[in-house]
Structure 1
Amino acid sequence: MPTEAQTPTVPTPTEQAPARSLLPLLRRLHFYAGILVGPFLLVAALTGLLYVFAPHLEQAIYDHELRVPAAQDSVPLAEQVAAAEAALPEGTLVSVRPAPSPTDTTQVILDEPGLAESYHRTVFVNPHDGEVRGVLETYGSSQALPVRAWLDQLHRSLHLGDVGRIYSELAASWLWVVVLGGLVLWWGKRRRRRVRPDRTAKGRARTLSWHGATGTWVALVLLFLSATGLTWSQYAGENVSALREALSWETPSISASAGEHAQHQGSAGHTGHAGHTGQQAGSGTGIGPDGALAAARTVGLDDPVEITVPANDGEVYVVTQTQRHWPTKQDSAAIDPATGQVLEVLRFDDYPLAAKLARWGIDGHMGLLFGLPNQLVLATVCLAVVALVIWGYRMWWQRRPTQAGFGKPFPRGAWRSTPPWLLVVLVLAAAAVGWFLPLLGISLLGFLVLDALLGLRRQRAG
């Protein structure tokens, strides 16, 4: 009979290593998140895949509006704007994008009654002879043409408005949780192969091998897409904006007010010129868009640019570079509409680092930053997400009992093996994350309530 000193001791749940005791809890969370959020991730991946190549699609569909035969001569911007205003007399001029090359059209952007927020009517003008090539509805700062705008709204909200945006916010809110949880589970066990699928495995082990290895390869891009996607979301996006404002991470911009520039100019300012503003750019008064463009060229603002015209008295021309692929060109300048004097220049190089990262992050998410390589990476990751979701559901099916039925979840009661102090930390962290990402918090609470109800039902049935 062994003595007390010789009697082997079995660690109680609270004596287990904290990291090890978390694994069962994390496994159950990953299971439920994958099952319940999987459909949202699948839809986001498929609609994102459609959007990735939308710029190429619109170039082909709208070739007549976007392209013209090259020629040596061109007519003044003011005449091009006048032709656009004649083609759309009910519109109000907002800005002009001069043709960046001899084979491009000039885009004259106008507001029109009845258009939804962020939508405009754009007239495409041949810069060589002033011919109007067409009029299209455009969307956002990237001037998305109808097909890309439609795919954008499909990915963003399934064309269901604010209600539809809940789907994409849920996907972005849970994506990083699922990815990080999956990485911990996959790399937390000793496996012969972590970054390559085990082709010798069978059944569920083979599916798990493909799921884990593929998830490892695309994890960084998925975390990037989750973070940048949340900046556009309806509820979490407001918190992201508030955080950026509190930390002074906002993107700087040039004011369109002549008065503000005059204050900076002091006695040398041009407040007396405020009465000359508010003229339509195509009317031939003031410097017009041609003078604004010429002034911007003197401070190094090369193509492509957008010239925002003064909408009211006391405002100035604002000329902004619009190149969003690498290297990014986002310099801008304020131009006095009466004299053509450059009142202020804002360089992208002078942006705070956080503002630059935000710009690059958004453009990378949209597939614009590095052009075709960027798009190919996004397309590959979208297809990987589709495969990951399918493999996840397949593993659920492969866990089903031998009789007919759905797959089993991982065992209940995992929280009992977690040290109390660690549970407190987890609850506080979940509350903080849930406050910052409201849809994540609400859905997580819903998971917990559902899990508790199912457990009570099973106890009563037993």
Structure 2
Amino acid sequence: MIAGTPTAGTSGLYRRIWRWHFFAGLVCVPFIFSLAATGAVYLFNRQIDDLVYARQMLRQQPAGTATPAPASTLIANALHAWPGQAKALNLPADDRHNAQVDVIQPDGTTMQVFVDPGTGAVAGAIDESRRLMTIVKHIHSLAIAGDGGKAVIEIVAGWIIMLMASGAYLWWPRGRRAGVVSIRRQAQGRVWWRDLHAVTGAFGGGVVLFLALTGMPWSVFWGKNVNAWLSAHDLGVPDGMWRGVPKSTLPASALGDLPWTQQQQAVPASDDPHAAHKAAPHQVRPGPGYDLLNNFTIAGPDAIVAQLAAMGIDRGYRLALPGDPRGVYSAIYMPGQVAAHRVVHIDQYSGKVLMDIGAGRIGAIGRITEWGVSVHQGLEYGTPNLLVMLAGCLALMALCVSGIVMWWQRRPAGKLAAPALRHGDRLARGVVLIAVVLGCCFPLLGASMLAVLLLDTLIGAVRRPAV
């Protein structure tokens, strides 16, 4: 891979690392390219939504000075246009956008109904499962393939970390100057692609590594278990916040997007004064027969919206609505910066605040993790943040393309042309230690590395000539 470096080319360590880098890249390239391409698109999900769904999402008339329509009117008008169970009300962060009411249809489909917050007029609706950015997000995470697909993405993200580490070793100059930080002027063919691969990795590798690491919190195994461990050790959402608060069995993730540290928590439950449960755990699920707007025994949406405004949350948030007698109102406020994130759960009967969780109440490691997630999504530092993450995605795509082209031009016809090993080639103890540490930190990556090591050993044993 690196011409003109006989010491590197004849090193058993170099050959072994190059071989792992080669196989990892070859197997993972389709998934890595998909992650990078869909990630680059999803960075601009808000802008794309405004362009594709302008008729539904953007107000057709400029905002006036009249009093905004009450929350109950927005919900009632949405239900009149699309009968079903109201699940959530999304109030816009600015005067350009319509409000959004999520309505669960009898067949289980969720329709996102857009209503002008000033006039209450319904502007249109989108099937949530068919919304362009929902599809892109599901492809990005392989959620379309279920938990198995999510596990594959977790393994691939781990191998991206390995590829960056091994790529850095292979790139290391070792006395060379050409093709290290720039493409050689006279380079052509495979040498040009090799230089492009090396230089792209040199300048974009740090961002790519950051994207891989900060993508792990969403993973099906690592993310879920680390989240639970942080909460159990008061490093995420402190368990003490549940003191005296009735729990439901509904996971907070069912409420939609919310801060990462709270996704594995349960949603609190309202204490129905007419029932005999007295704060017993209860399963809260939206029920098609639950009347939110004409129920005079509970606090209506208008009262809750006014209460939240008095608490400093007046726009740009999602209000998940109670779906049965034990449900709660959950206001999820997630502007760009993590420091301003806030989730408030309110009892539907008394209007009592059951939980008010701001970033300041989250443990230190949880806050750092959420900061990483926010930067990963391009939300923390505005346009510069978006552009840097986009550069990382483009660099990853360039690495995929240049790696494949470089291999294709090097391989003899009809052969795989994997970097060959020589008898006695071994990995240095330091490299083995790094691999073991990474495998322990990311168990699915560790399991896949063991599988690759076993396969490579078997191939070597089969091909080794008998003495």
Distance 1:239 1:227 in 2: 15
> Which structure 2 residues correspond to residues 36-115 of structure 1 after superposition, within 5 A?
36-68=27-59, 69=61, 70-73=63-66, 74-89=68-83, 91-115=84-108
Amino acid at match of 1:244: L
C-alpha spacing 1:274/1:97, structure 2 compared with 1 (3 Å) = farther
Partner of 1:444: 449
Distance 1:93 1:167 in 2: 35
Q: TM-score, normalised by structure 2?
A: 0.76
Matched-pair contact (CA < 8 Å) for 2:161–2:212:
yes
Residue 432 of structure 1 and its aligned partner are, at CA, apart by: 5.8
**Count of aligned pairs:** 418
C-alpha spacing 1:204/1:136, structure 2 compared with 1 (3 Å) = closer
C-alpha spacing 1:399/1:336, structure 2 compared with 1 (3 Å) = closer
Q: TM-score, normalised by structure 1?
A: 0.77
Partner of 1:411: 420
Residue 280 of structure 1 and its aligned partner are, at CA, apart by: 4.3
C-alpha spacing 1:131/1:417, structure 2 compared with 1 (3 Å) = closer
C-alpha spacing 1:301/1:170, structure 2 compared with 1 (3 Å) = same
> Which structure 2 residues correspond to residues 170-189 of structure 1 after superposition, within 5 A?
170-187=155-172, 189=174
Instruction: Choose which of 307, 322, 333 in structure 2 pairs with 1:310.
Output: 322
Q: Give CA deviations for 1:330-370 in whole Å, capped at 9, x if unaligned.
A: 22334454554555533223322322233232333333334
> RMSD in angstroms over aligned alpha carbons?
3.7
Instruction: Choose which of 114, 118, 132 in structure 2 pairs with 1:128.
Output: 118
Q: Secondary structure at the residue paired with 1:410?
A: coil
Residue 215 of structure 1 and its aligned partner are, at CA, apart by: 0.4
Instruction: Choose which of 152, 162, 166 in structure 1 pairs with 2:137.
Output: 152
Matched-pair contact (CA < 8 Å) for 2:272–2:325:
no
> Which structure 2 residues correspond to residues 243-322 of structure 1 after superposition, within 5 A?
243-251=229-237, 259=246, 274-275=273-274, 280-283=291-294, 285=296, 286-313=298-325, 316-322=328-334
C-alpha spacing 1:42/1:309, structure 2 compared with 1 (3 Å) = closer
Distance 1:88 1:166 in 2: 36
> Which structure 2 residues correspond to residues 196-215 of structure 1 after superposition, within 5 A?
196-201=182-187, 204-215=190-201
C-alpha spacing 1:375/1:406, structure 2 compared with 1 (3 Å) = farther
Matched-pair contact (CA < 8 Å) for 2:236–2:364:
no
C-alpha spacing 1:275/1:72, structure 2 compared with 1 (3 Å) = farther
Distance 2:98 2:65 in 1: 14
C-alpha spacing 1:153/1:346, structure 2 compared with 1 (3 Å) = closer
Distance 1:149 1:257 in 2: 37
Distance 2:322 2:22 in 1: 56
Matched-pair contact (CA < 8 Å) for 2:21–2:167:
yes
Q: Give CA deviations for 1:183-224 in whole Å, capped at 9, x if unaligned.
A: 122126223253333334555444333212210211121112
Distance 1:246 1:26 in 2: 39
Matched-pair contact (CA < 8 Å) for 1:257–1:314:
no
Partner of 1:369: 380
What are structure 2's unaligned runs of at least 5 residues?
1-6, 248-269, 285-289
